Structure 1
């Protein structure tokens, strides 16, 4: 049972880290004003927009023209990674 929980914890940690990188890259490209009609931006928007909408339902994320939704999402995901995933990895 411990190996299964360890494997699940590793998979969750990898997925969370990958999604954090997707959000980070999307935020950087938005700040750099990349072409919004490019295929890369379309893929990144499809991956990140649902998370942005979820956060925006609960928290005001725009202050002085800056969008803080990516930062909030990354912080929440890192908190989940440090608590729940590390808890699963403790069972080995």
Structure 2
């Protein structure tokens, strides 16, 4: 029972972190369309949070199609898949304990 509660709380927090990072990716992608000031602290934080993930993804598969970088879209899809599958499995498993 205690393990189930702990696992449910862990799954909930992990789901919140995944959803927060999805919003960070979306905001960074939208800001990149308007050529932001690279010295702006918000832009720097967004780049520090997203560029390492994009670089890792780009090293695995090509993400540019016709000059359009699809890295943010792929990252959001993968994170949403993890959220909808793994987090839900953890929640169901926690409910059984």
8-17 vs 56-65, which moves further: 56-65
Q: CA RMSD in A?
A: 0.8
Unpaired segments of 5 or more residues in structure 1? none
- Matched with 1:53 is 55
TM-score of the two chains, using structure 1 as the length reference: 0.95
Please give the per-residue CA displacement for 1:45-84, whole angstroms capped at 9, x wherever unaligned. Answer: 0000110011101111111111100000000000000111
- Matched with 2:73 is 71
How many residues align? The count is: 92
Unpaired segments of 5 or more residues in structure 2? none
- 2: CA distance, partners of 1:60 / 1:3: 41
Per the alignment, in what secondary structure is the counterpart of residue 13 of structure 1?
A: helix
